[in-house]
Each structure stands twice: as structure tokens, then as C-alpha cells.
Structure 1
Amino acid sequence: MPLTLPVLYGSVRTERQGIALARWIAETLRARGHDAPLIDPMERRLPLLDRMYKEYEPDEAPPVLRELAELYGQADGFVLVTGEYNHGVPPALKNLLDHFLEEYFWRPSAIVSYSAGGFGGVRAAMQLRAIVGELGMPSIPSIYAVPKIGQAFDDAGRPTDEKVATRFDRFARELEWYAEALKTKRADGVPY
């Protein structure tokens, strides 16, 4: 079943290395038959959070927020790609997430983390897990961590280790299972 799975990327650094990972994930999900738009805060230029999307009058929200609200409302799940900044979630990702709330409800999230070191950003992933739970899009049990991001992809944006794709296949199947299950349940109604 084709799913809509936006890939939300969280870095706006000039020399960001995780963008290759985010692009590869979006491409891989599309190759699996899904609609997987890459939401890049560097391209979207969201304002710093002043008011959430729902706090604007219907026609007064900035166009970028209206566009994302429409996309998120059609989403079956979300893939969140986070680096690890000082053992935490990048501010651009937190800002991207905090503009919305109800648009996330009853949709699973899948956390992809990365870092320059050997732990693959798992400390940020654990913080992000608490955040997405509060936003109403609980994370699937698995986390897809990519250590040493600077060496993980070649200049063409392809993984340098074949295990990257093998591990992602299992991760994607888990996300698909949760997204399909929650999509079916949303069609029957939600608890409140």
C-alpha cells in the first residue's frame, strides 16, 4: 500500500553532512512506492516559532505553514532525520516540529539519527522520542542510527557500506507496518 511519509530533516548548517542521509532515505522510500517528500528547513525557511499554525486565522498563516499543514494532514507517518548537537536535537528540527500539533496525531514517526562519532546520534534520538510522543506521533520501536556520517555516503550520495541499505530495509518495513496499522485505525475513528 503506498503511503505518504514526509522526511523531516533538521539541520541548517552550511556544511551539513546529514543531508545526504535524508535525501537517500527519501529516495529509498520513493523506490519502495511511497510518497516521501523531503522537508528541508534550509529550503523552507520557516520563521522562528512565534505562533503555532493553529493559532493563526485561517488565511493569515505564512504560506509555508499552510503548505506543510496540508501535507502533514495527508501523511501516514513521518521520518525524522536528526543530527546530534551537543547531545541534543538540532534547533532547526525542533522549530520545524513545534509549528504543528494536531497534524501529527495518530501517525507514527520513525527516528533516524546520525553523528560524526561512533554512536550515530542516539542521544539526540532518545530526546526526540520524548518530543514526538508529546506531539502525538509516537516513534516506532527501532531507531536507525548512522555513525561517522562524514564517511557514510560517497560524493554521489550513495551509502559506502552495503549494510546501510540492509539495515534500512528492516527499519522501513517496521515503519510501513505501523503506518498501515494506524492508517486503518484512523479510518475507523480516533479515541477523542
Structure 2
Amino acid sequence: MSLLVPVILGSVRSDRQGVKAARFITRHLKGRSCEAPLVDPLELGLPLLDRMYKEYHKGEAPEVLERLAELFRRADAFVVVSGEYNHSIPPALSNTLDHFLEEYFWRPSAIVCYSGGRFGGVRAAMQLRAMLCELGTPSIPSLLPIPEIGTALTADGDAQASWLDKAARRFVDELAWYADALRRQRAEGTPY
């Protein structure tokens, strides 16, 4: 059975580089027979968080939140693609993630991080790791950092260096292992 792994993109900036990383990891997920829909905050147009999805009465949440909640409830895992803004995560990513809570529970997440420099966004990833755990979707041990994203990937998300494809395959294999294991456990029941 294939896995459903939404890829949550974090940037809404003009000339954003993260979309290349999202295309790159989506291709690798699909290569492993995963369904990998892109969750793009630029296309979603979510309002700044006023109320979480769960705080709306049944049937009163905006349609975009209903669609996302339904997708997230069906998901087996999540991949979060984050740039590094001032050593932290992009505000659009935080806003997208914060609209939900229970929909993430008992599902693993994986972090693809990037930056224009040599650190590949790992400083933001450390903060994101704590946030994802608090949301109930703890991240797998590995990260997939992409340094110098401006030249590391083409506009279509093709790797310019062979190490990136090799690292992505290992990363996706690890996420799939956790996703399969937690899917089996969810089927048997969760602590609450």
C-alpha cells in the first residue's frame, strides 16, 4: 500500500527557492510510490492564524481549512520544506502548520531545509524539529539539508550534484520506514 505524504512548503516570497526543493523531494517520494501532494501557502492564501481549525464549529471552517484537514487526517507522514529566515522558519510555514493539531498526531514528519549559504537551513530545522514534535508529528532523525540552493537544484527541482539524489533516497527510505511502522500502530489504536 502506498503512503500519502503531503509536502508542506514554507515560503511565499517572490523568486522563492523552496519550490525547487519541494519539486525535488516530491519526485523522490513519487519514485518510491508515495502520493505526495504539494501544500503551498502561496496557493492556499490562508489568513493569519486567528482560530485553529478545531476551534470552528462543525461545518463552519473556511473551505481551504476543511480540505487541508481532510488531507492531513488521511496522511501517513509529512515532509516539511523550510528555508532559513533569520536563523528561524519562515512565517508562512508557521502559519500553515499552526492551523492544525490533532490532524498531525501519530504521524512522522521529515524536514527538508535549505539556504542560499553553506549551512543548508539547519539552524531553522532545529527550531522546526521542536515545533513539529509539539504538534504531534515528530521528525525522523535525519534531515535533508540543501546548501546553496540557488545552484544546487534547477528550477524544475533536478539535482546539480549527485550526492543530493543519493541523500534524498536514503532520507525517503527512512521516512517510509517510520510512516509504515506508525500506520500499523495507528491501526491497532493510539494511547488517546
Residue 82 of structure 1 and its aligned partner are, at CA, apart by 0.2
SS in 2 for 1:2: coil
Post-superposition CA distance 1:8-43 (Å, at most 9, x none) = 000000110111110121122112111100101011
Gaps in structure 2 of 5+ consecutive residues: none
Counterpart amino acid of residue 12 in structure 1:
V
TM-score, normalization: structure 2?
Answer: 0.98
Residue number in structure 2 paired with 1:6: 6
Match runs of 1:4-153 below 5 Å: 4-153=4-153
Residue 156 of structure 1 and its aligned partner are, at CA, apart by 3.8
Residue 141 of structure 1 and its aligned partner are, at CA, apart by 0.3
SS in 1 for 2:112: strand
Post-superposition CA distance 1:36-95 (Å, at most 9, x none) = 001010111111100000001111111100000000000000000000000001000000
Taking the aligned partners of 1:142 and 1:66, their CA distance within structure 2 comes to 31
Taking the aligned partners of 2:155 and 2:186, their CA distance within structure 1 comes to 41
Residue 145 of structure 1 and its aligned partner are, at CA, apart by 0.3
Gaps in structure 1 of 5+ consecutive residues: none
SS in 2 for 1:88: coil
Taking the aligned partners of 1:13 and 1:156, their CA distance within structure 2 comes to 17
Using a 3 Å threshold, how does the CA distance of structure 1 residues 119 and 70 change in structure 2: closer, same or farther?
same
Taking the aligned partners of 2:135 and 2:182, their CA distance within structure 1 comes to 16
Residue number in structure 1 paired with 2:181: 181
Taking the aligned partners of 2:93 and 2:184, their CA distance within structure 1 comes to 28
Using a 3 Å threshold, how does the CA distance of structure 1 residues 5 and 156 change in structure 2: closer, same or farther?
closer
Counterpart amino acid of residue 36 in structure 1:
A
SS in 2 for 1:111: strand
Provide the alpha-carbon RMSD of the alignment.
0.8
Taking the aligned partners of 1:155 and 1:93, their CA distance within structure 2 comes to 21
Residue 102 of structure 1 and its aligned partner are, at CA, apart by 0.1
Post-superposition CA distance 1:123-142 (Å, at most 9, x none) = 00000000001000000000
TM-score, normalization: structure 1?
Answer: 0.98
SS in 1 for 2:113: strand
Q: State percent identity of aligned pairs.
A: 60
CA contact (8 A) 2:107 2:182 kept: yes
SS in 1 for 2:67: helix
Q: Which 4+ residue blocks in structure 1 deviate beyond 3 angstroms?
A: none
Taking the aligned partners of 1:16 and 1:34, their CA distance within structure 2 comes to 25
Taking the aligned partners of 1:63 and 1:96, their CA distance within structure 2 comes to 14
Taking the aligned partners of 1:6 and 1:126, their CA distance within structure 2 comes to 21
Residue number in structure 1 paired with 2:162: 162
